Structures are given as C-alpha cells and as structure tokens.
Amino acid sequence: MLKKLLNGVIAQRHEQRRAELYRNLIRSEAKIGGQLFGPIADGGRREFFCLDAHTWIWHEEWIDQNGQRQIKTTRYDVRPNGIIKAQDGQRHQYIKLQEAKRLQQAVHGYNQRVRAEIYNFV
C-alpha cells in the first residue's frame, strides 16, 4: 500500500517536472523567435513559437503613442489545404501566398536559431 502511494507521488512529481521543463523550453523558444522580427521597443514584448505540429503563435505587446498597452496575438494553423490565420477575435481566414512565404521564412529562421541556441547538444 505504501509502495503504491510512493510510486504515485513520484510519478506525479516526475510529470510536474516534465511539464515545467516543457513550459520553460517553450518560453525560451518564444523569446528567440520574437527576436527574428527586429528590435523590441522598450516596454514591449514579442514572442513567436511553435505550439504543436500544426500551430504557430506570434504574440506582441507594445506601448502606443498614447501610452496605452496594445496586445496582438496571431495564430497560424497549418493545414493540408492552406494556412488559416486567427487574430484577436477576428474571423479565421486563409492567408495569401505572400504572407505564407513570410511565415515560411520566419519558421526557417526560428528553426535554425532554436536548434543552435537551445538544442545544439542533441
């Protein structure tokens, strides 16, 4: 009985460590990805990362000319018949070829930098 309980606690801690490691890796990748688009203004934040095998996220926060914090999150869902873009409550739409090419360049740069800066030991 005690052995079962201990095994359950150990398994739970292991799963919590795995989840924390995953979150930390995503944060690190997002920070690197955000740097692909140039300098980030003071008080701003930009992240670009791969959420899963088919989803890319671009999140940006900045202070506008009136001193108000602005936030924009864009989600790209890659599907066999195209890429669907969802942005801050707007309706989902397929992106045009030019935007798809820019996304492809960003993904390529992201993969190169993340591999070199985080996963270079593999």
Tens of pLDDT, residues 83-95: 999 998 888 999 9
Q: Could you tell me the residue ranges of all domains in the chain?
A: 2-117
Average pLDDT over residues 92-103: 96
Per the structure block, which two tokens stand in for 108? 């390529």
Average pLDDT over residues 102-111: 96
SS3 helix, strand, coil % of the chain, rounded to 5?
Answer: 45, 30, 25
Q: Across the strands, what pairs with 49?
A: 57
How many angstroms separate the CA atoms of 114 and 85, rounded?
A: 23
Confidence class of residue 57 from pLDDT cuts 50, 70 and 90? very high
Contact in structure between 36 and 113 (CB atoms under 8 Å): yes
Q: Supply the pTM of this predicted model.
A: 0.81
pLDDT of residue 118 exceeding 80: yes
Q: What pLDDT was estimated at residue 6?
A: 53
Of 60, 98, 99, 45, residue with least CA distance to 76: 99
